[in-house]
Every structure is written in C-alpha cells, then in structure tokens.
A and B are shown apart, each in its own frame.
Chain A
C-alpha cells in the first residue's frame, strides 16, 4: 500500500530578483513500512520537499502546484487545522541540527509532553513518564530520567538527536521525515545514531523518508533511493539497483564521489561542465 505519493510537485519562490524554481515536477512514492532516501547535493531541493509534505512553507511568496497524497488525502488542499492534526501525529520530522531544534528554555520532558498534548488530551498522567522513559531507552539512552529533566544545552549532539528521534515516535506516526539527521553530528556518532534510528523504525514498522547528500550514508539504510538534482528527480530505484547499475551519469558521478569514510564533506561535483539535466530521468 502506498502511504505517501507526491505527484508532479512544483514549487517556486518569488523574491526581488525574480523566481527560484526549487522543485520542478517531482514525483515520489513511499510504501507502508518502506525506507526511502532522497539524495542530492546542496540546494537541490531536498529540504523543500520535506517541508512541503508538512506544509511548513506557507508564506505568500511561494507558488506551488501538484499533489501530495497521504493516505488518499491531498495535503496541499487540506486546511491548516487539518494539517496541524497530521503534523507530529501521523507524520513527524527530525531536523538536521538537534541542539537548536530543541527549545533551550523548556526541559525535554516538557517538550515531549507538549508534542503529545498537541494531539491527545486523555492520557494517563501516572504512566506517561514511564512511556517517555521507554521511548528514550528505545534509542539507547542510558539515563533517561536525567535526560528527561535536562535542557537542550545540557545534551551532546548525538544525545539530542536521539531525543529528537524519540520525540518523533511519541504519537506513533506512520511516516517519519528525517532531513539530514546526522550531518551536524561528529563522524563517530553518525553511524551509531543512524543504526539506532533504523532499528527503531524497522521494529515499529514505520515508513521513513531519509534526506541526505551522501549516497554512502543511505546505502545500509534505505530500501529505495531517489536522486534529485536542481529540483528534478534524475533517477529512482531500489538501493541495490542504484548501487550496482546506476543508470544516470549524475548518479554515477555521485557514486564515484563517495568518500571512503562517511565524511560529512560534500562531494565536490564539477557540475559546471556537465549538463546532467539533458539526460532524461532513469527509472529502474
């Protein structure tokens, strides 16, 4: 069953100098329980895609077209109160920089509680702390009680990102969007956080859209990969096929550029000289 289906999504930003076409008719599908990766270089439109799904880009300088179906409702046409019901409840999101994603003036517990209360008011006050503690244990946090009563600045980056992952799980969402969840972390903890995330999500049978600029990072993680370049999907296919027989020259370049260790450095692509867009989309 397809959980999320993006159809011909177009996004344009209007500003003083003219318009930026951030997304040019992209289509993308995520099935139930599937882990999908969206890979592309900086500025290719990955974050815009994720934000569009949750309706987080909604000011007046934006022009959007197309459809985003989530369980057969079109998120682009929903009213804002309807979208709010979905946010953090059926779809939740993990951001790139965990420490600045947590409000520095509220404890972790308070923010987890609020994330819960945004969607349900009737929960058992006595067992709720136990529930949070278990969620934190799921992401391998050793001293959950202390973390619950901490503020963001008291947590390390890796710790904070694990807190964010358990925050995303609170309302048992069907889909989790993770926008470069490990880029801001030390190389040594990146792998660790990623595997924790993979385990939890597989265990809970949730779907996931993982955004990354690094094909190497998504290899062990995703079932399916979309390659995006300048607002266009250039190739889509199962992880296996993409790695074994990349169909698009851009994907091939990306694969060559994978650093040996999972470094957070961007692959340096000589995109000036090559016109990747002239080759049509490659679907496996």
Chain B
C-alpha cells in the first residue's frame, strides 16, 4: 500500500506542469541558478535515477529539503504533525464520548426529545463546514464569553515540555507539569470541538440506527426474559453487537478528520501540518508535498490497520474464521 502510494506520488509529482526549481527560486532567478537548483533536486537525471533517489530518501527517512522553509522536510513534518495528531485524537475522543452515548440514548428513546436533539445536532453537523464551526465557536467562547483562548497550542508565557511524543498534553503529564496540561487542554477544546462536530453527528446517527436494529433482535428479549437489567443490556449486551459495525465507520470518520483538520487549524492558528501542507501545495514544493502525503498515507494505513485489528478481535466470527 505504502509502496503504491509512493510510486503514485512520484509519478504525479513528475508530470505536473511547471518547473519546481523555477517556482522555488522566483521569477528573478537567472537561468543558471535554476539549472543549478535542478541539479541539486536531481531533476536533470533520467527518470529511473530520480525514482531511485526518491525511494532511497523515503527509506532513510530523508526526503530532501523543502524549497520553501529550506529545512529538511522530515524535520518539518515531525515538528508539525504531532500538533495535528493531538488535535485529531482529541476530536475523536469527543466524537466517541459524546456521539456514541447520544446515539445510544436516541436509539433507546426513539422519537422522544433526546432523539430529536441528536438528530438536529447531526443535521447541523453534516451541513456546516468545520471552518464555519470554528468561526462560530471562536466568536462565542473566545470573544463573547471570553473563557477560552483564541489561538495556538499554548499561552505565550507557557513553555512547552521537552519533547517525548510531541503531543503536549501527554508529554506534560509524563513530565508532571500539570499546569501546562491544563493550559494545553484549554487551547485544544475549541479546535477539537469544531473538528468533531460533523463527525459527531454522523457517529450518533450511525450508533442510533445500529442500536435500534439490535434492540429488535430476539436475543434482547431473551436477555430480558432472563432478568438482565436494562442498564446492563444497554451498556454491554446490546452495545457490543451494535458497536462492531459502528467501529469501522468511526475509523473512517477518524481518518476523514485529517482533511477537516486543515480547515480548523487555519482558523485557530494551530501550528500543525495544515499550513505547511497548503504552503507546499501553493509553492509546488515537491519534497514537502511528498513528505506530507506520505505521512497522511501512513496515518491512514495505521488507522485502518488498528480498526481492522480491533474489529477482528471483537467479532468472534472474524476471529474464529481467521484461525
């Protein structure tokens, strides 16, 4: 999969119109400077040699230099991506912790007010782009109520903990700097909420329909006939069958957040991969585009893998047939 992606990126990157060297150096550069730069990027070599350099770079974790930041793109990506990852993970937590219970309640109390509320949320979530949510949330909570910070990952006078994972919340907990954790949490709430709202609606709608379906099953009536209490049924006996098909879709939603993270990061000046990626796209910064795409592809592959493993573990039908 990753190899396929790398080949695809390579091919597309080489056939796009426009000379990356010329773009990087700007219109004032002399032809000589451009040629030199092309040599440096191996753009004058035959195509298979170029691909060789490209693959060598990927395997060694060295994808060359960004023509825009003039730094190694691997370094760039490892600086920016953790911030995005932290945001996505937090948003996914909100999606699961709010969306799923909301869906369960809506499924249990169909056509009651909780169901209508959850339907309204999911409708609004689906029809509103996350950057618009970002603007609305910012106006309400950061300016009007003035209870949460406007931008960034940390306040200006807070020093980020020394890097372990790159996820500030986790790093600061590991290092015991809990004031930093709180500051980071305050900063992440709004962007994560903006990011999670559309996925949250979908998650609750999906959970609702799966729960409703499971509750019509014979084994739920049988559970009641054997004296299970409703709480146990809702949190375990019906939940597991309902959540297994839901999980796969939640995995997709989680991956889709990466796209929306681009939008939200812009509004909240979140120092993640979005700005870097968009700059790379605008400046046709080949190495940076490659690095960004590779990290996104890796993220997908890993997410899919985890979801598949979890589903296979939870679903005895898959687990046993695999043996």
**Do any beta carbons of A and B sit within 8 angstroms of each other in the complex?**
yes
Q: How far is the CB of B33 from chain A (nearest CB, A)?
A: 66
* In the complex, per-residue mask of B210-238: 1 if CB is within 8 Å of any chain A CB, else 0: 00000001110111111111000000010
Q: How far is the CB of A88 from chain B (nearest CB, A)?
A: 3
User: Of B24-32, B39-47, B126-134, B314-322, which stretch is located at the interface?
Assistant: B314-322
CB < 8 Å neighbour of B226 from A97, A151, A167 = A167
Residues of A within 8 A of B218 (CB): 95, 97, 100-101
Interface residues of B in 193-225 (CB under 8 A from A): 217-219, 221-225
Q: Identify the closest chain A residue to B315 (Cβ).
A: A105
* In the complex, per-residue mask of B158-194: 1 if CB is within 8 Å of any chain A CB, else 0: 0000000000000000000000000000000000000
Count of A interface residues, CB-CB < 8 Å: 28
CA distance A101 to B223 in the complex (A): 9
Residues of A within 8 A of B315 (CB): 105
Inter-subunit contact A114/B228 (CB<8 Å) = yes
* In the complex, per-residue mask of A70-94: 1 if CB is within 8 Å of any chain B CB, else 0: 0000000000000011111100110
Contact status of A87 and B226, CB under 8 A, knowing A100-B218, A103-B237, A104-B241:
yes
Inter-subunit contact B240/A105 (CB<8 Å) = yes
CA distance A89 to B227 in the complex (A): 8
Assess whether A115 is interfacial by the CB under 8 Å rule.
yes
Q: Identify the closest chain A residue to B228 (Cβ).
A: A118
Inter-subunit contact A100/B217 (CB<8 Å) = yes
Residues of A within 8 A of B240 (CB): 105-106
CA distance A115 to B228 in the complex (A): 8
Inter-subunit contact B223/A103 (CB<8 Å) = yes
Assess whether A283 is interfacial by the CB under 8 Å rule.
no
CA distance A252 to B320 in the complex (A): 52
Assess whether B105 is interfacial by the CB under 8 Å rule.
no
Contact status of A105 and B227, CB under 8 A, knowing A95-B222, A97-B218:
no
Q: Identify the closest chain A residue to B240 (Cβ).
A: A105
Assess whether A62 is interfacial by the CB under 8 Å rule.
no
Assess whether A215 is interfacial by the CB under 8 Å rule.
no
Residue of A56, A86, A88 contacting most chain B CB atoms (<10 Å): A88
Q: How far is the CB of B267 from chain A (nearest CB, A)?
A: 42
Q: How far is the CB of A19 from chain B (nearest CB, A)?
A: 20
Inter-subunit contact B225/A153 (CB<8 Å) = no
Inter-subunit contact A118/B317 (CB<8 Å) = no
CB < 8 Å neighbour of A84 from B217, B222, B227, B241 = B227
Q: How far is the CB of B125 from chain A (nearest CB, A)?
A: 29
Q: Identify the closest chain A residue to B243 (Cβ).
A: A105
Inter-subunit contact B316/A56 (CB<8 Å) = no
Contact status of A151 and B316, CB under 8 A, knowing A118-B227, A167-B226:
yes
CB < 8 Å neighbour of A93 from B217, B225, B237 = B225
Residues of B within 8 A of A104 (CB): 219, 241, 316-317
CA distance A107 to B240 in the complex (A): 13
Residues of B within 8 A of A106 (CB): 237, 240
Assess whether B244 is interfacial by the CB under 8 Å rule.
yes
Contact status of A105 and B316, CB under 8 A, knowing A95-B218, A100-B217:
yes
Inter-subunit contact A87/B317 (CB<8 Å) = no
Count of B interface residues, CB-CB < 8 Å: 21
CA distance A118 to B227 in the complex (A): 6
Inter-subunit contact B222/A105 (CB<8 Å) = no
Inter-subunit contact A101/B241 (CB<8 Å) = no
* In the complex, per-residue mask of A96-136: 1 if CB is within 8 Å of any chain B CB, else 0: 01001111111100000011001100000000000000000
Assess whether A11 is interfacial by the CB under 8 Å rule.
no
Assess whether A54 is interfacial by the CB under 8 Å rule.
yes
Interface residues of B in 218-276 (CB under 8 A from A): 218-219, 221-229, 237, 240-241, 244
Q: Identify the closest chain B residue to A179 (Cβ).
A: B225
* In the complex, per-residue mask of B280-321: 1 if CB is within 8 Å of any chain A CB, else 0: 000000000000000000000000000000000011110010
Q: How far is the CB of A251 from chain B (nearest CB, A)?
A: 30
Assess whether A154 is interfacial by the CB under 8 Å rule.
yes
Residues of A within 8 A of B227 (CB): 84-89, 115, 118-119
Residues of A within 8 A of B320 (CB): 151, 154
Q: How far is the CB of B295 from chain A (nearest CB, A)?
A: 36
Q: How far is the CB of A154 from chain B (nearest CB, A)?
A: 7
Inter-subunit contact B241/A103 (CB<8 Å) = yes
CB < 8 Å neighbour of B224 from A87, A89, A107, A151 = A87
Residues of B within 8 A of A84 (CB): 227, 229
Contact status of A95 and B221, CB under 8 A, knowing A85-B227, A87-B227:
yes
CA distance A198 to B23 in the complex (A): 87
CA distance A95 to B220 in the complex (A): 12
CA distance A154 to B228 in the complex (A): 24
Inter-subunit contact B317/A101 (CB<8 Å) = no
Interface residues of A in 164-188 (CB under 8 A from B): 167
Binding site for A on B (CB under 8 A): 217-219, 221-229, 237, 240-241, 244, 314-317, 320
Binding site for B on A (CB under 8 A): 54, 56, 84-89, 92-93, 95, 97, 100-107, 114-115, 118-119, 151, 153-154, 167
Extra contacts, 7 of them, besides A84-B229, A119-B227 (Cβ < 8 A), are A87-B227, A93-B222, A95-B222, A103-B237, A104-B241, A153-B316, A153-B317
Ranked 3 nearest A-B pairs via Cβ: A88-B226, A87-B227, A118-B227
Q: Can you identify 6 A-B contacts, CB atoms within 8 angstroms?
A: A88-B226, A101-B222, A103-B223, A104-B219, A105-B241, A167-B226
